[in-house]
Structure 1
């Protein structure tokens, strides 16, 4: 029997998860299949890699020695996929991803067209939900990867910035702030707000930046919380309040003059959109190719 990467990946996942059943779930395999592959690896080396008990498993001395080599092999495969993805123009497959609201509604649709022209044999499926839901589905192995608006902090998740964005203040065209050359935080806070819901990336970034600027988000007069950027824009247009949203989502309304986009003095809501996926995941080559496309292309030509 020859040593193979598949077995090393399974071994590493079992070690990382601390459980054969959790590893099987992460790898979309049955538990007996995972156990069999680990046993085959143990047979190859002629030693036990785990100490098993009814309650838990622990790495043996041999397993602890093997673990960094297994991780290096996984990292090397990931690096290989990234390097080779730029040559895979005849690639076939399905790109299935999750995207948080602003990214999924306003950013990625402008990029999936050019990507699809370059890789016509990759079909695309995108699920649009908020950042918190994306993270939950990645952790529960319902999504391979997602692109989210707020930076995620979780020990099991790889997070990588792939695009940049900026949030801006929006007001109705006849609002008192619309004609002000400079809008201060103090002036802004005098008016009622319509905001995205808690858990959305836009809301999280806004609150974090306001706090850094010395403004307690709790001081905002929030009259409405809505579950989509489109709904927030409609509410602002109807003069129900003002808001802070991604400038990428405002081009149409700003061009028509129904909403006025303003900067806030002393505050810069710059942010990155992040790709997230499990540390133990080997992404399909279609996903690696798409992330390489986002990293290496001048996206401004489409945005």
Structure 2
């Protein structure tokens, strides 16, 4: 804003509708045309301009029966008021556009394996019916998923079932078995029934300790009176599968991990109830769910099982 004009406007009680009326009259040089453009009666527009002039203690127009001309003060204020009108109207348009996009945006925090295997097909089906929907999928470790839901940064989360989450509503989705993965011709290929004690005889490739899969493995070994010391500990399931493929050991991966379907690896189930994760959908308790997010949750309920069952099976 012009340094000479800013002090003039400071503390004055003038409204945007008055400023917009002034700019429209100045642009059309006609109270009648400006009133039509603003969908106002001419007396109503005239009253707005008079109120603006009174508030500024300045005469902005020289009027006669035929013409409307800006005074020197009006010409001084016109570029400033035009910027105010353009900036505010542009900001409103941008805000409305952002709100429209945000209204159709669904934010999900999800375990990486589920984000890579279960969600894509459900999202595809949902967007076929709701093309306005957009998604932000934050793949994260179990505790991070819960933290994102609690903070309100996402609409809901998909993670492992926990007891004692009093501030979260939890809905069971499915059981995600933990599979052992190794390269062909590994000795485990000849074992009819793989147990925890069977696994204890081989070098293991496990995900890091803060992962839900690792926590389940540690609990299963402890329940059998065993401890586990991995030959390799990794962050990502892709790395674990690559190490197993190189013959460095037996990887333990969730059945939802895309890597267990690799044609270069063999995946087998473990005969132990502890080798599983219970996958749940969580959301903040007593917080209303936006309609489009609620609709997507319903799509997960309807299509989740069929999407999982349509994926290639692994060896028993």
Given the two structures, how large is their TM-score scaled by the length of structure 2? 0.59
Would you say the 8 A contact 2:177–2:269 is kept in 1? no
* Structure 1 partner of 2:269: 263
Give the 3 Å change call, closer, same or farther, for CA 115–207 of structure 1 in structure 2: farther
Would you say the 8 A contact 2:207–2:235 is kept in 1? yes
Q: CA deviation at 1:253?
A: 5.2
Deviations 1:20-74 (A, max 9, x none): xxxxxxxxxxxxxxxxxxxxxxxxxxxxxxxxxxxxxxxxxxxxxxxxxxxxxxx
Deviations 1:241-264 (A, max 9, x none): 2122122325x65451x2111222
**How many matched pairs?**
207
Would you say the 8 A contact 1:102–1:149 is kept in 2? no
Q: CA deviation at 1:240?
A: 2.1
Q: CA deviation at 1:201?
A: 2.2
Would you say the 8 A contact 2:205–2:251 is kept in 1? yes
SS in 2 for 1:178: helix
Relative CO higher for 1 or 2, CA cutoff 8 Å, sep ≥ 6?
A: 1
Is 2:215 aligned against 1:204? Answer: yes
Q: CA deviation at 1:197?
A: 1.6
Is 2:284 aligned against 1:273? Answer: no
* Structure 1 partner of 2:253: 245
Match of 2:243 among 219, 229, 235: 235
Deviates more, 1:176-185 or 1:201-210: 201-210
Match of 2:234 among 208, 218, 226: 226
Distance 2:164 2:217 in 1: 17
* Structure 2 partner of 1:283: 289
The 5 Å alignment of 1:88-99 reads 93-99=104-110
* Structure 1 partner of 2:120: 109
Distance 1:165 1:118 in 2: 28
* Structure 2 partner of 1:192: 203
Would you say the 8 A contact 2:216–2:277 is kept in 1? yes
Would you say the 8 A contact 1:202–1:245 is kept in 2? yes
Give the 3 Å change call, closer, same or farther, for CA 227–255 of structure 1 in structure 2: closer
Give the 3 Å change call, closer, same or farther, for CA 215–281 of structure 1 in structure 2: farther
Would you say the 8 A contact 1:196–1:229 is kept in 2? yes
RMSD of the alignment, in Å? 2.3
Q: Which has the larger radius of gyration?
A: 2
Q: CA deviation at 1:266?
A: 4.3
Segments of structure 2 that go 5 or more residues without pairing to the other structure are 1-102, 312-316
The 5 Å alignment of 1:1-303 reads 93-151=104-162, 153-212=164-223, 214-216=224-226, 219-250=227-258, 254=261, 256=263, 258-267=264-273, 269-297=275-303, 299-301=305-307, 302-303=310-311
Deviations 1:98-137 (A, max 9, x none): 1111111222123211222122221111111111111122
Given the two structures, how large is their TM-score scaled by the length of structure 1? 0.61
Segments of structure 1 that go 5 or more residues without pairing to the other structure are 1-91
